[in-house]
């Protein structure tokens, strides 16, 4: 079969058309901050890419901040607000790039149910006049759970309105509004990313999950949101991130967005459903982690085999040319159980998982081959 790449949630292959655009942009060697003709030409490229990305999000160009990654964008969204201890709410299954900054300010952490959905009643009860930021991941990178972001946004809006009425009654002025941040790195290319539909104030995504380049991320910050830079120096990115812009990566990101195809997304979703149904049929003792159906990210297959040595399974799969993952790429080399699987209440024997994340290039024949290899590895059945 050759190589079967099923680790797209960690990083996707770079689209050929994206690579061509990046190669073209490499010839733009001027510094976008320089006023000579080379610099002005490079600046036009950055501005054009910023405008395209803003259109994708339903935002203004000045609300788009380029970073080096989704992780950096998350840190800027959280730490850039200058929050004090206990002024943030997040969930227990966020990506580490949200949980680590949240630890610094001792954020209030709300729970999730067995499918990974945030407990809305718990979230509502955690809201108080002290809270300045609520951060909830759009789609979970490990188990694919799609959070009800619009519903959460409405809860926050209702809370803000209630707070405004109360402050008015008590004649309190100058209180900061509650901001809503969404880590959408896994959602881009699959779900609605319009920030107005979602009702968010801050949103992050990156290039490496949408067949674009690594080393580039985006933070959308609604006009009026005040942030402090984490990287100091020049005045690039509206004074929020110093350093010469990574022009080829920025241009490549804009091209990757242009190449998002919902028909391909539908094809991936069908293959994913088939993959999950066959896993349930062939391996009745296995556990599919996360929800089944429309509230699951359409390329995510997270499966736990009882008491399985996931590291050994990954090495065995590699021998057959199958490239899979074991949850978050940032923690896949760690031996401790996944914090996500612990949080959703998996039994001890199901605390390690294989994650197969499908991509544009995935075919049904490849899925069938993977199922056969799993049978050979786990059940000693010869590969068909």
Q: What residues act catalytically?
A: 330
CA 245 to CA 66: how far, in whole Å?
A: 8
Residue pair 263/189 in contact (Cβ under 8 Å)? The answer is: no
Within the chain, residue ranges assigned H as helices are 16-26, 37-57, 70-79, 96-104, 120-126, 149-169, 195-198, 236-239, 247-258, 262-282, 310-319, 339-343, 364-379
3-state secondary structure of 19: helix
Phi, psi of 65 (to 5 degrees): -120, 125
Residue pair 77/221 in contact (Cβ under 8 Å)? The answer is: yes
- CA-based end-to-end distance of the chain: 12
Question: Cα–chain-centroid distance for residue 61?
Answer: 21
* Other C-beta atoms lying within 10 Å of the C-beta of residue 228: 12
The dihedral region occupied by 117, where left means phi > 0, alpha psi between -120 and 50, and beta the remainder, is beta
Report the relative pairing of strands 217-221 and 287-288 from DSSP bridges.
Answer: unpaired
Cβ neighbours for 278, distance < 8 A, ≥ 6 positions apart: 367, 371
CA 85 to CA 152: how far, in whole Å?
A: 23
3-state secondary structure of 115: coil
């Amino acid at each position: 079969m050759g190589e079967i790449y099923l680790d797209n949630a960690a990083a996707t292959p770079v689209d050929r058309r994206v690579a061509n655009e990046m190669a073209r942009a490499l010839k733009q060697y001027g510094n976008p901050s320089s006023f000579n003709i080379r610099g002005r030409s490079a600046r036009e490229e950055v501005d054009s890419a910023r405008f395209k990305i803003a259109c994708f999000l339903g935002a203004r160009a000045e609300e788009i901040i380029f970073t080096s990654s989704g992780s950096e964008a998350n840190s800027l969204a959280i730490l850039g607000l200058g929050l004090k201890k206990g002024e943030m709410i997040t969930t227990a299954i966020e990506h580490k790039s949200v949980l680590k900054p949240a630890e610094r300010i001792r954020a209030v952490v709300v729970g999730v149910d067995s499918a990974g959905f945030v407990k809305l009643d718990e979230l509502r009860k955690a809201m108080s006049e002290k809270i300045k930021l609520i951060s909830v991941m759009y789609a979970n990178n490990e188990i694919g759970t799609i959070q009800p972001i619009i519903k959460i946004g409405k809860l926050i809006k209702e809370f803000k309105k209630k707070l405004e009425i109360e402050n008015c009654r008590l004649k309190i002025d100058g209180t900061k509004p509650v901001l809503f941040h969404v880590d959408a790195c896994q959602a881009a290319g699959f779900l609605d990313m319009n920030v107005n539909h979602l009702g968010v104030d801050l949103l992050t995504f990156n290039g490496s999950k949408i067949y674009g380049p690594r080393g580039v991320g985006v933070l959308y910050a609604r006009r009026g949101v005040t942030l402090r830079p984490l990287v100091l120096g020049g005045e690039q990115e509206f004074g929020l991130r110093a350093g010469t812009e990574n022009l080829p990566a920025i241009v490549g990101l804009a091209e990757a967005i242009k190449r998002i195809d919902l028909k391909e997304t539908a094809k991936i979703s069908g293959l994913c459903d088939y993959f999950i149904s066959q896993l349930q049929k062939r391996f009745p003792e296995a556990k599919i982690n996360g929800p089944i159906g429309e509230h699951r990210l359409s390329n995510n297959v997270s499966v736990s085999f009882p008491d399985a040595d996931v590291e050994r399974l990954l090495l065995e799969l590699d021998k057959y040319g199958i490239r899979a993952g074991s949850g978050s790429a940032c923690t896949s080399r760690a031996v401790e159980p996944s914090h996500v699987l612990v949080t959703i209440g998996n039994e001890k024997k199901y605390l390690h998982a294989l994650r197969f994340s499908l991509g544009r290039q995935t075919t049904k024949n490849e899925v069938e081959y993977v199922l056969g290899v799993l049978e050979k590895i786990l059940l000693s059945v010869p590969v068909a």
